[in-house]
Amino acid sequence: MPLVSSTPMLQEARANGYCIGAFNVHTLEMLQAVVEAAEETQSPLIIQSTVGTVKHLGPEYIAAAATVASNLSSVPIALHLDHCTDFDLIVRCIRAGYTSVMIDASKFPFEENVRQTLKVVEVAKAAGVNIEAELGKVGGVEDDIVVAEHEALMADPDECAKFVELTGVPTLAPAIGTAHGIYKGEPKIDFDRIKRIADKVDVPLVLHGGSGIPEEQVKRCVSLGMAKMNVATELRIVFSDAIKAVFAANPEENDPRSYMVPAKKALKEAAIEKMRLCGCIGKARDLTGR
């Protein structure tokens, strides 16, 4: 089936108390692995690419590969541009075939964040594309966006409600204590803040920094209203470690297929585990009616 907007799938997830895994991919094999995981488990899927990956591969190549994968699959798949600050790049990705985009103007004051988000909403909604925006600042590193721990700001529930009302944004990523990258200790997630935001905002909420969050904390976040969980760093590590293991066993290996096959297998298994945590296994049938 063709690529779809993630708006309906995320609305369905929030309404029914589960979450959809959103996986950052950087190679064709990584894309194939998460799609195969979704197909095997009948899970709805969001494929993501960072701005750095878009610049590395080109949005047209990424969108073309995702479109082929989606057309060969029976589950609903969306293609999302993550953490973008460049309006022109957002437009280029929409034209290439992306079905979801994130405008990240969280570093600006509230009013400027609203202005920039509105600009993207106007363009993306007309194209039938989902829009995600961030309020507060999620700590850690995402490509060239770096937010130090002392600069990470929690999202204010009242501001979240006002932001959604002013922008009409269909999905919101509030900063609630998670961070990009792998946690050095236990994540300090503000569960009460998630509940207060969810009580005031009826749009699906997005959990950034999904790598390495303990199972019980993921499930609690989902139960409180998180309908999308982003996973990036953990997948890169799994994929890279599988490749390293091949070269450790055979340093002279020079056939990419010899190390990409085990890397793809390892990533697929990791993606399935995240889908289980999200509670979205088998939910594709609810969206497709099959």
Q: Is 158 a catalytic residue?
A: no
Centre a 10 Å sphere on the Cβ of residue 247 and count the other Cβ atoms it contains: 12
Active site residues per annotation = 82
